[in-house]
Amino acid sequence: MSPRTRLLGLVGLLAAIALGLSACGGGGGADTGQMKLAVADAPVDGAQAIVVKFTGVELTGNGGNPVQITFAQPKSIDLLNQTGTASAVLFDQPIPAGSYGQIRVMVVADGDPSNSYITLSDGTMHGLRVPSGFETGLKLVSGFTVPSSGVVDYTIDFDLRKAITCPTGQAPVCTLKPTEKLVDNTTVGNIQGVVDNTLVPNGCTPGIYLYSGTVTAPEDMNSTAASSDTNQPQASKVPVANTQPPYYYQFTFLPPGTYTVAFTCQADQDNPDQADSAVTFNPVKSAITVAAKQTMTVNIP
């Protein structure tokens, strides 16, 4: 499968500094709190650069007017620079205290490569398109509260390996389908480890997949799978090794709980829109407990 048609590996969106509020909002009167919002992603296979142009952020409260944060100039950000534990700060400033139910990140991703684009590993450049992105932005519906005189610290975590596809027939444009989540940095942990180089022979395209809970029959990504399918991956990574072992991987911003990680040599054969029988997993490491503010080391022997 060519780099244009296979799912691209993940990681970290956005970076900019908000310069001001153009409207008040939230659910709570004239009181304010301090909010920091960043974005992050994970290593990406099959791409040299993923650049997105951002123009601002809108926070919609459960009452009152939206909070508009507009960048003085559009910010073109290479998402591949925000991987692992790295993140890019969107803004860190006072905002009206109260409850918020939606974050809208404004982007210019209309398929024109002069705005947002992806450069594949073969050097070809393709425009990025976000469905309805120019009109409505990237929407994240996730409730959070900014306390009066308090401080909150959040990260928008994007999984680009699920989010970017380059379908046949749409060349030279690729599609960015948002699959992000909002995490409270004070309540999450990480999983990291090393993949033994003996598991990566010639011809192997390594991948580490993450699953929620204890999974004994892990599956590859399949957007058509039933929502009740507990064997579907929560995220996936291609171990970072440049061209030499050892091969490292890392999953970040994980809520406390139990997880499973599984290794495959067929990561390049995983079509995100269907089940792929060619993708098999071995070994599988289950019953991994993640706690807040801690990093679990799980090596793949």
Within 161-274, strands assigned E span 164-165, 173-176, 181-184, 189-195, 207-212, 235-237, 247-254, 257-264
Give residue 281's pLDDT. 95
Strand pairing category for 207-212 and 257-264: antiparallel
Reported as a single tens digit per residue, the pLDDT across 71-97 is 888 888 887 775 555 567 878 889 999
**Is the CB of residue 46 less than 8 Å from the CB of residue 6?**
yes
Rounded to an integer, what is the distance from CA 63 to the centroid of its chain?
Answer: 29
Reported as a single tens digit per residue, the pLDDT across 93-116 is 899 998 998 888 888 888 899 998
CA distance 22 to 295: 39
Name 174's bridge partners: 128
From the list 33, 105, 96, 34, the residue with the least C-alpha distance to 65 is 96
Q: Tell me the whole-structure pTM to 2 decimals.
A: 0.60
Rg of the chain over all Cα atoms, to the nearest angstrom: 19
**Is the CB of residue 93 less than 8 Å from the CB of residue 18?**
yes
Give residue 109's pLDDT. 87
Per the listing, tokens 């064997």 go with 231
Please give the chain's pLDDT, 301 residues, in tens.
443 333 333 333 222 223 233 333 444 445 899 998 887 765 556 778 888 888 888 998 877 688 999 988 888 888 777 555 556 787 888 999 989 988 888 888 888 999 989 888 788 898 988 776 556 677 877 788 888 888 888 887 766 666 677 766 666 788 877 666 787 888 889 898 888 888 888 888 888 999 999 999 999 988 888 888 999 998 876 665 445 567 788 888 888 999 999 999 998 888 888 899 999 999 999 999 999 988 999 999 8
Give residue 44's pLDDT. 59
**Per the structure block, which two tokens stand in for 248?**
């490292």
Give residue 8's pLDDT. 33
Give residue 21's pLDDT. 31
Q: Is 31 exposed, middle or buried (0-12, 13-18, 19+ CB in 10 A)?
A: middle
CA distance 98 to 64: 10
Q: Where are the domains of the chain?
A: 32-184, 189-297
Structure letter (DSSP) for residue 160? H
Q: 50: part of which helix (H) or strand (E)?
A: strand 47-61
